[in-house]
Amino acid sequence: PVTLVWFRSDLRIHDNTALYHAARRGPVIGVFLHAEQQWREHGHGDNKLDFLCRGVEALGEALAERNIPLIQRQVPRFDDAPQALMALAEELGADALYFNREYPLDEVKRDQAVLAQAEHSGLEARALRDAVAFSPGELLTGKGDYYGVFTPFAKAWHKAISAERLEVLDPPERQAPLELSSSASQRPDYPNKSVDGRHWPAGEEAASDRLSRFLRGFPDSPAKRYKEQRDFPARRGTSELSPYLALGMISWRQCMQAVMAINDGSLSDGDAGLTAWVSELVWREFYQHVATGFPRVCRHRAFQRHTEALDWRDAPEDLAAWCEGRTGYPLVDAAMRQLVATGWMHNRLRMVTAMFLSKHLLIDWRRGERFFLEHLVDGEFAANNGGWQWAASTGTDAAPYFRIFNPTTQSERFDPEGEFIARWVPELASLAPKKRHAPTRDLLTDLDYPAPIVDHRAARERALDAFKSLSKDA
């Protein structure tokens, strides 16, 4: 009997829980369902879909080396998955279906429908925990609720983590070649455009190269300086692993094990750079729990209900200026241009630009959430939604509404030499480094760069008023 392994956001053969357990049963066939229409409805754009397609190809090659076929099929939407999988199982004579769980609401509903259909069809189906250390619901507050604040969640996470949950699983062995009666795989014919794929080579090898760049040679590696450097976008101070983690081309366990190997086996003590990095991986898991525990966030709703009454501005011109990197705030513009050109944005700048849109421009955070997803190669619902709601002060652990980043001060602190600005806003590169943060009007007369579209102080007051007028009882 053959086991079908349905790959989704776990495009790897190493340390893949579903693949590992399926291979122990006997021969395996991999399946990948391209649900383009559904992904586009979820807001994913060409950059992510291109990276995904390349990742699926890389997975197919890695599986082929082990004689495991990977069948790609197109289904428009998640609703089509149960039928497509049952038909494939029948066609291939499979008696079991294994997959790793995903946690946003639509994915959960899809998986429930698949499990129900499998039961109905007499197919053994197993949904496994892989993307997180603890299934949502396993870590709860003393009162039995989901955590809505990160710090106590992280404490509970560290207390409960065990060697067993951190174990990295072997890739499957080479199996005997299978005679497939199935018609050939259908390759998808999208996307039609994307950023230069060379920024983001896909697959496990590329992911492991990034992890090595970040850790290799420790303490002489970026990881050692992570805590000090991670906020400076001009330096490559972070791992740049987010696209790979989002699609599972590397597992969080592989990352944690790599840390433990150079940190005396610890995730919570020892080197400050390494433990700060581990904490970011725990943030990743936190937001996945939030998506399950508070499903309203998956329905475009605010986590903090009272903020839903906020009177967001309908300001298409301001929104366009933000999207196109011409707000007149150089760091904001540099960041937005980095996003559009590379499909990625540095974390500090995600916070700065998200706050600028939701506070300075008082534009609904959902507009920005959507724009990010459309461009991000690492676009991932839970982290993106969590980050946006944090910045807009509508979310879990939200920034208090009166804490509004001053984009100029942020620029002076985190891009002190204006290097990042010069790279992405070349119009300003001729200015002396210190003048790049907030070029004065006389400097701008000779430059093709706009004056600020809003005044920081006035915009700040407007945002404070809007938030103050909200009633907490709503």
Contacts with ligand FAD by CB under 6 A lie at: 230, 238-242, 245-246, 280-281, 283-284, 287, 347, 350-351, 354, 372, 376, 378-380, 383-384, 386-388, 391
186 token code pair: 């259908």
Least distance to ligand FAD, CB of residue 214, Å: 7
Q: Which residues of 67-99 are buried (b: 16+ CB within 10 A; e: fewer)?
A: ebbbbbbbbeebebbbebbbebbeebebebbbb
Closest separation in Å from C-beta 92 to ligand FAD = 34
The question of whether 6 is a catalytic residue gets the answer no
* Catalytic residue status for 312: yes
Nearer to ligand FAD, 30 or 148 (CB): 148
- Give dist(CA 464, CA 49) in Å, integer: 38
Catalytic residue among 6, 388, 390, 424: 388
Which position among 280, 412, 419, 427 bears the catalytic label?
280
Residue nearest to ligand FAD (CB): 387
Which residue's CB is nearer to ligand FAD, number 331 or number 383?
A: 383
Q: For the CB of residue 240, give the shortest distance to ligand FAD in the complex, in Å.
A: 4
344 flagged as catalytic: no
Is 280 an active-site residue? yes
Residue 62 or 249 with smaller CB distance to ligand FAD: 249
Cα atoms found within 13 Å of the Cα of residue 247, Cβ hemisphere only = 30
Residue 435: exposure state from Cβ atoms within 10 A (0-12, 13-18, ≥19): middle
CB of 42 to ligand FAD, least distance (A): 12
Catalytic entry in 347, 406, 419, 427 = 347
Supply the minimum distance, in Å, between the C-beta of residue 258 and ligand FAD.
Answer: 12
4 vs 392, beta carbon nearer ligand FAD:
392
CB 291 within 8 A of CB 455: no
Please, which residue, 36 or 380, has the CB nearer to ligand FAD? Answer: 380
Nearest-angstrom CA–CA distance, 467 and 459: 12
Cβ proximity to ligand FAD, 41 vs 90, nearer residue: 41
* Active-site option among 57, 124, 312, 427: 312
Orientation of helix 272-293 relative to helix 381-391, angle to 10°: 100
Q: How many other β-carbons are positioned within 10 Å of the β-carbon of residue 293?
A: 18
Q: Which is nearer to ligand FAD, 34 or 230 (CB)?
A: 230
DSSP for 67-134? T--EEEEE-SSGGGHHHHHHHHHHHHTEEEEEEE---SHHHHHHHHHHHHHHHHHT-EEEEE--SSSS
Choice among 57, 67, 124, 283 that is catalytic: 283
Catalytic residue among 252, 322, 365, 390: 365
Q: Pairing relation of β-strands 2-7 and 94-100?
A: parallel
**Cβ distance 382 to 372 under 8 Å?**
no
Min dist CB 387 to ligand FAD, Å, is 2
Residue 365 annotated in active site: yes
Write out the two tokens for 296. Answer: 């309203």
For residue 300, give both structure tokens: 């475009």
Minimum distance between the CB of residue 167 and ligand FAD, rounded to whole angstroms? 20
Give, in order, the Cα–Cα distances in Å from 466 to each of 113, 305, 316. Answer: 43, 15, 19
Catalytic-residue membership of 388: yes
* Catalytic residue positions, numbered: 280, 283, 312, 347, 365, 388
